[in-house]
Structure 1
Amino acid sequence: MIYKNGRDVLPPSLLKELQKYMPGELVYIPKPSEKRASWGEVSGTRKLLAERNQEIYRFYKDGWSISELERKYHLSGESIRKIIVKTR
């Protein structure tokens, strides 16, 4: 991080106001907050998992047992059940 002198970058009135509160101190000024992407949106993982979960639900509706789905997707029975309940 590069430090800049307040005299070089701030209007004089703002500099005076800051000096009232923090004379001679270092101040970090963060960037304006930007909306961050949700988990998995950028990489596509969220979409892939949603598609996988839909597929698991379709197989379950077509008569596959929980144990068959466990073996196919390498997930626990509890995880399969949660996916099925959530996807209904």
Structure 2
Amino acid sequence: MKYVNANDILPDMLIEELQKYVQAGYIYIPVKNEQHKSWGELSGYRKELARRNKAIIEEYRRGVSIEKLADKYYLSIYAIRKIIYQK
């Protein structure tokens, strides 16, 4: 998250009102519910993990052992099993 100086984006009247509650501090302003993004949506990490998990499942179906998959993807055997047996 990037910090923005209130003086750069807010009208003076609003800044004065906010200063009644907070001065020289940080305020987190959450996104509206209808604009909220799920975890990993913005960075693309969710899609990256989905691709990795699909590859793990495909390799397992081709006969690669759980132990070898764990070594290859730097995951625990438990994590590989969880990916393979999901859904």
TM-score class, shorter-chain normalisation, is 0.5 to 0.7
SS at match of 1:64: coil
Q: Distance in 1 between matches of 2:72 and 2:53?
A: 13
- After superposition, residues 1-88 of structure 1 pair within 5 angstroms as 2-4=15-17, 33-34=32-33, 35-86=35-86
Distance 1:31 1:69, change over 3 A: closer
Deviations 1:36-72 (A, max 9, x none): 1100001000000000000000000000001100110
Instruction: Name stretches of at least 5 consecutive residues in structure 2 with no aligned partner.
Output: 1-5, 7-14, 22-28
- State the TM-score, normalized to the length of structure 2: 0.64
Larger CA Rg, structure 1 vs 2: 1
| Structure 1 residue ranges without an equivalent (≥5) | 5-24
Percentage of identical aligned residues: 44
Equivalent position SS for 1:58: helix
Runs of 4+ in 1 over 6 A off after TM superposition: none
How many residues align? The count is 64
Q: TM-score, normalised by structure 1?
A: 0.63
Tell me: higher relative CO, structure 1 or 2? Use CA pairs within 8 A at least 6 residues apart.
1
